[in-house]
Structures are given as C-alpha cells and as structure tokens.
Amino acid sequence: LFWVPLLTNVLSRFGLGLFFFAFLYINLRQTRKAFLELNTEVKFTPRKHLLISLLASLVLTLFLAPGFSLDWTLIQ
C-alpha cells in the first residue's frame, strides 16, 4: 500500500491549489463592475475581464500556493 501516502499528498495539494484558485478567482470577479466603468483608452469587455481574472488566478495559484511553487534552493 505504498500509494496511499502518495495519493493523500497529491490530493491534499490538489485540493489546496483548487481552493486557492477558486478564492482568487471569486475575489477578482468582484472587480468586474469597476473594470467595466474605467475611463481609459483600453476598454474592457466582460470577456477580457474573465480572461484577465482566470490568468491572474492561475499565475498567483501556481507561484504562491505552498507545494506548487518550485524549490529554488534545489536549482541553485
């Protein structure tokens, strides 16, 4: 039963990453009204805001979630 601790570790990291992603995405979706009312040269459509929210959530999850980021001490 060597796979039980491995599976537990993988599932817990996946669950934590999914939680972080959902939390960040939901918070970024709350900025939709403010983004659409900006008076700038670049106009944000709801689709652009969705893309920005998804990409920002994914990047922040990959780099900030414990266990998902690279261990730079091993690379050095």
Q: For residue 13, is it within any domain?
A: yes
- Sequence-distant (6+) residues with CB within 8 A of 16 are 65, 66, 67
Can you give the pTM of this predicted structure? 0.64
Domain count, the chain: 1
The answer to the question of residue 58 being in a domain is yes
The answer to whether residue 75 sits within a structural domain is no
Predicted confidence at residue 31, as pLDDT, reads 82
> What confidence tens digit (pLDDT) does each residue in 22-71 have?
888 888 888 887 777 878 787 778 888 888 888 888 888 777 766 655 55
Q: List, in order, residues 6 or more apart from 18 with CB less than 8 Å away.
A: none
Residue 8 lies in a domain: yes
Q: Is 76 part of a structural domain of the chain?
A: no
User: What's the mean per-residue pLDDT of the chain?
Assistant: 77
In a domain, 74, yes or no: no
pLDDT of 76 > 60? The answer is: no
Residue 45 within any structural domain of the chain: yes
Domain that holds residue 28: 3-68
If one compares 72 and 5, the residue with the highest pLDDT of the two is 5
The Cα 16–Cα 75 span in angstroms is 24
Inside any domain, residue 53: yes
